[in-house]
Amino acid sequence: MSPAFTPILLLTASNVFMTFAWYGHLKYKTAPLALVVLISWGIAFFEYWLAVPANRIGHNYYSAAQLKGMQEIITLTVFGIFSVLYLGETIRWNHIAGFCLIVAAAFLIFKK
């Protein structure tokens, strides 16, 4: 696998875990908060096993700023899909406009 693609794949997988850790409990609002926090920590444990290697491997190819910009775009993409498919929420025009601005920011970060 390409050294440029490996961190993207790992960051995407880590974001799936983290999105469930942070927002998955919203479907279970009656669950005790202490239980939700413990389960979220357990999920986040696996997220860290993906995110830390992604950044370590990725830093051989990308700058820290580029990795962070990439992380933000991946996070919003994963969250957008999650919020529609899992939470049943709607993505509105202003969400898309805000996302486009973040993509523009990432473009500037990657510009040499």
The CA-to-CA distance between both ends of the chain, in Å, stands at 24
The domain in which residue 37 lies consists of: 6-110
* Domain contains 82: yes
Average pLDDT, the chain: 93
* Domain contains 19: yes
pLDDT band at 1 (very low <50, low <70, confident <90, very high): confident
At residue 2, the pLDDT reads 83
What residue type is 111 in one-letter code? K
Q: Are the beta carbons of 21 and 48 closer than 8 angstroms?
A: no
Task: Please state the domain count of the chain.
Answer: 1
* Domain contains 1: no
* Residue 2, SS3 per DSSP: coil
When pLDDT is averaged across residues 5-21 and rounded to a whole number, the result is 96
